[in-house]
Structure formats: structure tokens, C-alpha cells
């Protein structure tokens, strides 16, 4: 029996064949975006590679990969930008790829982001396919690709890596692979602060499962072999990534268990329940034409919240609702730079399932036409954005 025919290889091959349209479509959209960026950047006399891997947070991740933690910049206003604010999994992977290939740290980061974005698209497909159907899964992966800020998926940022880990952790939860779910959740917690959303989703799913089993009586393992100890172990493992890094930063910075919050404060990041964001939006409404931007921000928030309500009404599993709710709350209620909020919402992929279901009901030609048009607009916007202010 060949390796491709072995029992271990067959399920993976079958899963890959099932996801192939989603992955091929996703790759095509990203290729369109990168080609548009390359042409636009060349016309501006700019390097697309530098825009993708040599500006903004990309430089901080690459710096951690190359030099480790401990670097900081003191600004004239007294703020301290320390690289301890950046979670370690992405720079660790950059360092590994750099060590085993001739790629520079920056190019290694681009490779990691490219692979992670495909893994994220596959994970989004898998979750949507499991919750709804294959056609919805394909559309969900493509909708994620054509988002206006989808170009961030190709930058040396941690959104693609985090989304991949979160999606596959949630898929493992939904399919009762609890130890896998816990390990992936812990890895997501080493990638971004929003790792707490993945851990919270796993905890809710596990507790709900425990309660359901008690109501039906008995403690025997389920037919799928998901024994209670597996859920308990997954619950213990899931928050270790976030908790471990936050506690290490507190020790390293001398700020105690919550020292990471002080590091974030140096970047003017924090969680204030949306007060600062509300004041920012209100300030936009006081004059014209900034009032148009303020109205657009309000419309965007209303859209996100209304889609979340739609997710609830469509009966998404509690794990997905908890995960999405925490990601949205952290994005909208953070006091960080307000232009980053669309990027911070990228990992909230279950919000894409309602529009994906609408597209899935259309004829293939019509859904392809819609997605193709949006992909073209998204590619142009991404190139314009990166050649301008770029992602914060």
C-alpha cells in the first residue's frame, strides 16, 4: 500500500479535494491582489515587497525574530514603544524558516503569512462546511479573501496565522477533537491577545458538553470517544499561551502579573469599553466633510452588530458565537488606533457565514460575478491603501 493509499493519508486527501475549490479561489483572489499591488507600486516607484514586509508592525515582528525581546523606542511625548507588546509565535516561525532556508527574516515572514493565509482559508471552509454545507464553505473562504482589508492577509502581520489557528481550533471543538482544540487554542494565544477568544469559546463548548451529559445521565464516553478528561485537559491547556506570555512579559518588564497592560499602555492601547472610540466618532460628526466619515463608522459598527445578530438567529454553535463576540468586543472596545479596527475584525470569520449563505443560494455564475467584482475592487483598494497610509 502506498503512502497516498494509507488509512492516515486518505482522510487528508479527501478533505483537501473537498476544500480544493475554496483554496484555489482564495489563491486566485490573493494573486490578483498581489499583482495589482505590484503594478500600482511600480507606477509609484515603490517596492511591493517593502510594503508587505518592511513597514509598520512587520518591522517589529522581524526585529523580534532577529534580535529577540528587549528593544524599545522612547517617543518625544514620553510614550514607550516596546517590542514586548508583540506576541511571539509569528517571529518564532520567521526565525525557524530563516534558519532552514536562504530567506531573509522579512521574506520568511512573507512565506509564513502566505502559508498561514491558505491554512486560514481552509479552516474557514471547514467550519462553514461543517456548520452549513460545502457550497457555503467555499463562499465563506472567498468572502474572507475579498474583504476590503484582505490585503493584510498577505502582509507579515499575525492576522492570517491567528485566524488559521482559531479556525482549526474551533473546527476541532465542533468535531470533538478536544486535545487538538486545546493545543491550537494555546498556539493562538501565543499569536495575538485575542487568543482569549479561542480559549473562551473552547471553555463554553466544553462546559455546555459537560452539562448536557449530566442532564442525560451517565459518565461513559460518547460514541465519538470524547471522554470528559479530554475536555478537562483541553480547558486547562487552551489559555496557557496567552497566560504564559502575559505573565512572562510582566516578569520581564518588572510590572508584575499585569505588566503586559503597562507595555500596551506605552503604545496607547487598552480596553475602555469603547469610550475612546465613541468620542472619536462623535468628534467626526461635528463638522463637514468629516461627518461623512463619522456616519460611515457608525454604519460599519451597526452592520457588524446586525450580522452578529444574524449569526445568532441562524443558530451558529455557541463556540462560534462566543469566539466572534469576544473578537468583536475587543476590536470595537479597544482604545487603540481607530484605523486598525477593520484589521482587528479580520479574524471574526463566522460573521461571513450569513453573506456566504446568500451567495451559496445564487447560481454559480452569479456568485462568481459578484465575488469577481468585489475581488477587483478589493485588490484596487488594497494597493491604494498600502501605497498610502497603509495598515496601522
DSSP 14-79: HHHHHHHHHHHHHHHHHHHHHHHHHHHHHHTT--HHHHHHSSTHHHHHHHHHHH-S--EEE-TTS-
Is the pLDDT reported for residue 135 higher than 60? yes
- 276 within some domain: no
Is the pLDDT reported for residue 212 higher than 80? no
Furthest C-alpha separation in the chain: 72
- 39 within some domain: yes
Helix (H, G, I), strand (E, B) or coil at 271: strand
Task: Give the C-alpha separation, 355 to 291, whole Å.
Answer: 28
- 201 within some domain: yes
Task: Give the C-alpha separation, 292 to 151, whole Å.
Answer: 25
- 158 within some domain: yes
Which residues have C-beta within 8 Å of that of residue 207, sequence separation ≥ 6? none
pTM value is: 0.94
Helix (H, G, I), strand (E, B) or coil at 117: helix
Looking at the structure of the chain, the number of domains it has is: 1
Is the pLDDT reported for residue 41 higher than 80? yes
Question: Which range is least confidently modeled, 124-128, 224-228, 378-382?
Answer: 224-228
Angle of helix 353-361 relative to helix 290-313, nearest 10 degrees?
A: 80
- 147 within some domain: yes
Over the chain, what is the mean pLDDT? 92
- 372 within some domain: yes
Q: Are 86 and 192 in contact (CB under 8 A)?
A: no
Task: Give the C-alpha separation, 131 to 25, whole Å.
Answer: 21
- How many Cα atoms occupy the beta-carbon half-sphere of 41 within 13 Å? 20
- 299 within some domain: no
DSSP 8-state code for residue 82: E
The arithmetic mean of pLDDT across residues 35-48, rounded, is 96
Which residues have C-beta within 8 Å of that of residue 176, sequence separation ≥ 6? 222, 224, 225, 226
The arithmetic mean of pLDDT across residues 278-283, rounded, is 86
Distance of CA 80 to the CA centre of its chain: 26
Cα four-point dihedral sign 96, 100, 105, 111: negative
Q: Are 378 and 146 in contact (CB under 8 A)?
A: yes
Closest CA to 374 of 206, 203, 145: 145
The model's pLDDT over 360-383, given as tens digits with 9 standing for 90+, comes to 999 999 999 999 999 999 999 999
Question: Which range is least confidently modeled, 159-173, 228-242, 266-280?
Answer: 266-280
Task: Give the C-alpha separation, 196 to 188, whole Å.
Answer: 9
The arithmetic mean of pLDDT across residues 115-133, rounded, is 98
Is the pLDDT reported for residue 217 higher than 90? no
* pLDDT score at 386: 95
Q: Which of the four pLDDT bands, split at 50, 70 and 90, describes residue 103?
A: very high
* pLDDT score at 161: 98
The parent domain of residue 23 ranges over 16-262+365-386
DSSP 8-state code for residue 348: -
* pLDDT score at 8: 54
Task: Give the C-alpha separation, 131 to 360, whole Å.
Answer: 14
- 62 within some domain: yes
* pLDDT score at 22: 98
Q: Are 219 and 254 in contact (CB under 8 A)?
A: no
Q: Are 141 and 30 in contact (CB under 8 A)?
A: no
* pLDDT score at 5: 53
The model's pLDDT over 320-348, given as tens digits with 9 standing for 90+, comes to 999 999 999 999 998 877 778 899 999 99
- Percentage of the chain exceeding pLDDT 90: 78
- How many Cα atoms occupy the beta-carbon half-sphere of 58 within 13 Å? 25
Amino acid at each position: 500500500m502506498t503512502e497516498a493509499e494509507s488509512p492516515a493519508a486518505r482522510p487528508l486527501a479527501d478533505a483537501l479535494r473537498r476544500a480544493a475549490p475554496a483554496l484555489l479561489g482564495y489563491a486566485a483572489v490573493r494573486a490578483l491582489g498581489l499583482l495589482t499591488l505590484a503594478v500600482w507600486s511600480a507606477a509609484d516607484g515603490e517596492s511591493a515587497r517593502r510594503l508587505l514586509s518592511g513597514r509598520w508592525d512587520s518591522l517589529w515582528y522581524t526585529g523580534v525574530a532577529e534580535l529577540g525581546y528587549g528593544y524599545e523606542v522612547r517617543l518625544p511625548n514620553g510614550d514607550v514603544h516596546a517590542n514586548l507588546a508583540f506576541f511571539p509565535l509569528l517571529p518564532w516561525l520567521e526565525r525557524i524558516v530563516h534558519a532552514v532556508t536562504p530567506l531573509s527574516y522579512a521574506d520568511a515572514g512573507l512565506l509564513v503569512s502566505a502559508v498561514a493565509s491558505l491554512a486560514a482559508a481552509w479552516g474557514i471552509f471547514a467550519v462553514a462546511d461543517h456548520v452549513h454545507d460545502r457550497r457555503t464553505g467555499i463562499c465563506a473562504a472567498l468572502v474572507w479573501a475579498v474583504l476590503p482589508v484582505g490585503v493584510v492577509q498577505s502582509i507579515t502581520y499575525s492576522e492570517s496565522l491567528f485566524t488559521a489557528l482559531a479556525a482549526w481550533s474551533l473546527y476541532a471543538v465542533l468535531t470533538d477533537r478536544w486535545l487538538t482544540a486545546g493545543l491550537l487554542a494555546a498556539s493562538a494565544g501565543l499569536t495575538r491577545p485575542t487568543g482569549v477568544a479561542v480559549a473562551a469559546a473552547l471553555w463554553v463548548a466544553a462546559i455546555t458538553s459537560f452539562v448536557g451529559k449530566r442532564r442525560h445521565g451517565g459518565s461513559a464516553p460518547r460514541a465519538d470517544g470524547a471522554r470528559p478528561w479530554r475536555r478537562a485537559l483541553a480547558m486547562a491547556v487552551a489559555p496557557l499561551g496567552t497566560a504564559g506570555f502575559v505573565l512572562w512579559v510582566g516578569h520581564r518588564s518588572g510590572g508584575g502579573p499585569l505588566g503586559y497592560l503597562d507595555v500596551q499602555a506605552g503604545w496607547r492601547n487598552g480596553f475602555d469599553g469603547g469610550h475612546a472610540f465613541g468620542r472619536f466618532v462623535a468628534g467626526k460628526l461635528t463638522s463637514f466633510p468629516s461627518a461623512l466619515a463619522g456616519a460611515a463608522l457608525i454604519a460599519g459598527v451597526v452592520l457588524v452588530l446586525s450580522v452578529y445578530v444574524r449569526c445568532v438567529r441562524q443558530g451558529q454553535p455557541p463556540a462560534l458565537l462566543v469566539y466572534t463576540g469576544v473578537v468583536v468586543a475587543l476590536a470595537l472596545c479597544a482604545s487603540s488606533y481607530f484605523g486598525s479596527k477593520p484589521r482587528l475584525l479580520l479574524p471574526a470569520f463566522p460573521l461571513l457565514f450569513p453573506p456566504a449563505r446568500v451567495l451559496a443560494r445564487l447560481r454559480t455564475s452569479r456568485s462568481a460575478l459578484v465575488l469577481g467584482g468585489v475581488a477587483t475592487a478589493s485588490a484596487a483598494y488594497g494597493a491604494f491603501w498600502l501605497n498610502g497610509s497603509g495598515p496601522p
